[in-house]
């Protein structure tokens, strides 16, 4: 489902699959299970903290999970997201404590504190599935959210409000 590369040690890779998370320390030649603590093994999204690469986030059908030890163990980031399937994750490159999580259900959540708390933005209709999030590296307050149906949304204020760029029906 998803891949992530350690920005400091590029030979360290993480793969999120329907059967859990796997880690390779040798550029993909060998893989080991790295799902200890995950309640939901389906992993739809992975994100690595660029300032502290041992800190990872995983988007699952049961919220966001966080690892502080390079994927050796995982804990739920915050129980408020437990009932939301998280399909996309993004970390603000200028402020890595700021995270975004796109859901299946028309919401994008923002955490200003490394996942300790989350705040929701109503972005699209409840049947919207956000499968991609991207942050402008020059202006990190500018975000883009892509849907599984082809729609595209933009926020210029760090995810507080969103505008429709394309609905996917044109």
Would you call 80 helix, strand, or coil by DSSP? helix
3 burial (CB, 10 Å; 0-12 / 13-18 / 19+) is exposed
Give the residue-averaged pLDDT of 151-156. 91
Asked if residue 2 has pLDDT above 90, the reply is yes
Asked if residue 140 has pLDDT above 60, the reply is yes
Q: 């320390």: which residue's tokens? A: 25
pTM higher than 0.85, yes or no?
yes
Buried b (16+ CB within 10 A) or exposed e, 14-51: bbbbeebbbbbeeeeeeeeebbeebebebbbbbbbbee
pLDDT value at residue 125: 63
pLDDT tens figures, 58-109 = 999 999 999 999 999 999 998 888 889 999 999 999 999 999 999 988 889 9
- Of the chain, the percentage scoring pLDDT greater than 90 comes to 73
Spell out the long-range contacts of 35-40 with Cβ–Cβ below 8 A and sequence spacing 24 or more. 35/74, 36/72, 36/73, 36/74, 37/65, 37/67, 37/73, 37/74, 37/75, 38/65, 38/74, 39/76
């Amino acid at each position: 489902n998803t891949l992530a590369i350690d920005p400091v040690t590029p030979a360290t890779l993480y793969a999120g699959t329907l059967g859990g998370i796997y880690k390779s320390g040798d550029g993909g030649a060998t893989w080991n299970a790295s799902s200890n603590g995950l309640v939901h093994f389906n992993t739809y999204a992975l994100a690595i903290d660029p300032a502290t690469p041992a800190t990872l986030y995983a988007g699952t059908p049961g919220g966001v999970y966080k690892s502080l030890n390079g994927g050796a163990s995982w804990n739920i980031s915050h129980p408020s997201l437990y009932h939301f399937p998280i399909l996309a994750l993004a970390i603000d490159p200028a402020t890595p404590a700021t995270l975004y999580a796109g859901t299946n259900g028309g919401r994008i959540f923002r955490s200003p504190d490394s996942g300790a708390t989350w705040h929701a933005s109503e972005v699209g209709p409840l049947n919207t599935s956000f499968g991609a999030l991207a942050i402008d590296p020059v202006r990190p307050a500018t975000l883009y959210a892509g849907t599984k149906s082809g729609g595209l949304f933009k926020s210029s204020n760090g995810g507080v409000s969103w505008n429709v760029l394309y609905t996917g029906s044109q």
